[in-house]
Amino acid sequence: MSIAAQTLSNDIAELLPPLPNMVGEMARLLGQVPSGCVTTYGALATALGDVKAARWVGHYLLHHAHNELCVCHRVVRAGGALGGYIAGGTKAKIAALGAESVLTDGDRVDLERYEWRRLMGKRPLARLRQAQHNAAEHVTITTPASLPDAVAGVDVSYSADGHGVGVYALTEYPSGKLVWWTSRRLPVTFPYIQSFLTFRELPILLALVDEARQAGKLADALLVDGAGVAHQRQIGLASHFGVVTNLRTIGVTKRLLWGQLATDKKPRCGAIPIMLQDRTIGVALKASRDSEQTLYASPGHLVDVEYARQVTRTLLKGRRLPEPIYWADRLSRMLARGGDPPQTIAALRDSAATKRRRSK
């Protein structure tokens, strides 16, 4: 049985529920807004289960498959500002609303008069949020008995045709030498919504881990391009991934997503602690001694802060990213663009070295 099948058979509904059809749910909600009324991006997001989805609602309404029966003109901003319109801008939106007897004052609608306040949503994002809370309860912060012999990096890039291309890049530790990699290309059905990245990328990461296990290439620890416990709910992509697979994971991000840097503390080996109240939840690291670029590493699952610091620091070899994630990122981008990577590991390393020399 594959690792995905093994883990998904245990409490999977609580940790990784079936992904909702967000486009279908949006269409259902829009269909509830009658002629002569409007709703708001925030109201739709709330009916989807999380007001933070309002940005995605706005993006979707400007990029969806529009037709003459579509009622997306009935969605305005909080406060009544019209916002964008896929079928022609502000004037066209005013005309479409006017045809339904919704009067505008300049570029605004009187929400007290026209807002439809009876949206009945299934709140699919609330179910996903609960799955995050459930997974957070299973995160284990512990000190591994030893440092790894091999570390893999995983990352996902996106192609223009709506597919996600994930790469698992296996490296030796502590050298960071790339020794094996594999990729998976899958359709992406869940959109990018703030704080729900896990549900967009986890299916691809699970497929990668399955392939690595079947090939006998499962690493002792995985570096994930995504947050660990340094996350607003202490359950970033790296942590959720680790819980579902029961693997050691470390989250690495280019931005500080949660917590504060303890700038009053003396850096240990160039690492500044990331604090949440009185707890250390991760570290900030410079990509190299002379670099101004900072990375943020935190435990994902089955590791602690010191392990995350030491492994990440050791695998920083002068590039912007630690070697396992560098290779996963480089290869996934190349494949997503339709490129063909060099056929051998040696040729791939030579190509990267040449590019590095030219950039100096």
What pLDDT does residue 269 have?
61
CATH number of the structural domain 21-121: 1.10.10.10
- Verify whether residue 70 is a known catalytic residue: no
Q: Which amino acid is at 157?
A: S
Distances from the Cα of 145 to the Cα of 125, 194, 248, 304, 307, angstroms: 38, 36, 12, 11, 10
Where are the chain's structural domains?
A: 21-121, 136-359
176, two tokens: 């960071």
Among 37, 70, 72, 269, the one annotated catalytic = 72
Which string of DSSP letters, residue by residue, matches 308-348?
Answer: HHHHHHHT--SSSS-HHHHHHHHHHHHHHTT----SSHHHH
Query: What pTM does this model have?
Result: 0.90
Helix (H, G, I), strand (E, B) or coil at 68: coil
What pLDDT does residue 346 have?
84
Is residue 124 reached through a cis peptide bond, with omega within 30 degrees of 0 on the bond before it?
A: no
Sites in the chain below the pLDDT cut of 70: 1-12, 264-269, 354-360
Quote the Cα angle for 301-306-309, to 5°: 90
Q: What is the mean pLDDT of the chain?
A: 92
Q: What is the pLDDT of residues 309-323, one digit of tens each?
A: 999 999 999 999 999
Beta strands in 122-177 (DSSP E): 150-158, 163-172
332, two tokens: 């996934």
How does DSSP classify residue 186?
Answer: E
Q: Quick check: do 21-121 and 136-359 share a fold? A: no
> How far is 235 from 249, CA to CA, in rounded Å?
12
> How far is 192 from 55, CA to CA, in rounded Å?
10
Residue with tokens 């045809």: 99
Domain 136-359 part of CATH 3.30.2170.10 = yes
Q: What is the pLDDT of residues 29-74, one digit of tens each?
A: 999 999 999 999 999 999 999 999 999 999 999 999 999 999 999 9
